[in-house]
């Protein structure tokens, strides 16, 4: 078995509210192995995105990581300071965020935001970073990519904004890529193209991918292993083939039962 690049052990992330403590992530343990795809599924509010944000230690206020360890290549990220984590984010571990409107800076041109990660972590010149930014945007399917560089996020459609996030996330070919609902704003054709880009990234650099999605079809196509989350905990964890063939937890079974089916007729009264 390949080496686990990322190991999450007994992770607890809580949010303090006036009504009490919300245990968004409550004892999660996961392994993300080299050159593999881990699918993370569950309903909205189950803790998937908070788990991802906890890995990079960017949980929004009033959230707080109160326990557990996040080990990347033998180093517990929980022991690193702010500057050390800054060197990890974007280079070693990158994330494609679900909420494009919140992730992209509304007052910075798109080009500056794509170039930023390269200028921060490499010795590239401004012109080299700009040239690579054009290539990255073109690879995600954006036509006339050089024209997009001088535009602002509000000028882009949701799908185009998602492609920009993709370009930023894969810019430095990170060892670990966390993709939070990366295809939610895309049509079927563009979804297929973006998933192909994930596969190419994995083939080129052995990137390990944590894929967070509601789309069980995408999970079946992309993932090697699947973790099912409910109420901040992992209720089922198995290889993809076994999970789809023999779901063991009632919640997992319910997810599959909620899928549209073509193998039986539905009568309407």
The pLDDT score that the predictor gives to residue 264 is: 59
The pLDDT score that the predictor gives to residue 196 is: 85
Of the candidates 217, 105, 120, 221, the residue with the CA atom closest to the CA atom of residue 171: 120
Residue 154 has pLDDT above 80, yes or no: yes
Residue 144 has pLDDT above 70, yes or no: yes
What is the DSSP secondary-structure string of 2-17? PPEEEEEEEEEEEEEE
Q: How confident is the model at residue 3 (pLDDT cuts 50, 70, 90)?
A: low
The pLDDT score that the predictor gives to residue 261 is: 64
pLDDT digits (tens, 9 = 90+) for 45-61: 899 999 999 999 999 99
Contacts of 87-92 with CB under 8 Å at 24 or more apart are 87/121, 88/56, 89/56, 89/58, 90/117, 90/120, 90/121, 90/168, 90/171, 90/172, 90/174, 91/117, 91/121, 91/172, 91/174, 92/174, 92/175, 92/176
Q: Higher-confidence residue: 195 or 233?
A: 233
pLDDT digits (tens, 9 = 90+) for 59-112: 999 999 999 999 999 899 999 999 999 999 999 999 999 888 888 999 999 999
Q: Which residue has the tokens 């079927």?
A: 188
Q: How confident is the model at residue 1 (pLDDT cuts 50, 70, 90)?
A: very low
Residues of the chain above pLDDT 90, percent: 61
CB distance 221 to 36 below 8 Å: no
Rounded mean pLDDT, 209-231: 91
* Domains assigned to the chain: 4-257 (3.40.50.300)
The pLDDT score that the predictor gives to residue 188 is: 80
Give whole-number Cα distances, 56 to 109, 128, 263, in Å: 25, 27, 42
């Amino acid at each position: 078995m390949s080496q686990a690049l990322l190991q999450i052990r007994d992770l607890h992330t809580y949010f303090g509210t006036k009504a009490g403590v919300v245990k968004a992530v409550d004892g999660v343990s996961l392994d993300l192995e080299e050159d593999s795809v881990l699918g993370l599924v569950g309903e909205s509010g189950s803790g998937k995105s908070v788990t991802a944000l906890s890995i990079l230690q960017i949980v929004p206020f009033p959230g707080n990581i109160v326990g557990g360890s996040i080990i990347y290549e033998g180093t517990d990220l929980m022991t690193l300071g702010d500057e050390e984590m800054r060197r990890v984010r974007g280079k070693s571990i990158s994330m494609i965020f679900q909420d494009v409107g919140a992730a992209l800076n509304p007052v910075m041109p798109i080009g500056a935001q794509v170039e930023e990660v390269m200028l921060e972590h490499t010795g590239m010149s401004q012109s080299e970073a700009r040239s690579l930014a054009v290539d990255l945007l073109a690879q995600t399917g954006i036509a006339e990519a050089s024209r997009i560089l001088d535009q602002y996020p509000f000028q882009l459609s949701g799908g185009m904004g998602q492609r920009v996030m993709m370009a930023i996330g894969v810019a430095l070919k990170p060892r670990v890529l966390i993709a939070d609902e990366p295809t939610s704003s895309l049509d079927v054709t563009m979804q297929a193209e973006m998933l192909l880009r994930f596969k190419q990234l994995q083939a080129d650099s052995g990137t390990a991918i944590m894929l967070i999605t509601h789309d069980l079809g995408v999970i079946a196509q992309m993932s090697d292993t699947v973790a099912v989350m409910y109420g901040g905990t992992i209720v089922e964890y198995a290889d993809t083939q076994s999970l789809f063939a023999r779901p063991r937890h009632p919640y997992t079974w319910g997810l599959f039962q909620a899928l549209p089916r073509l193998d039986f007729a539905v009568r309407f009264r």
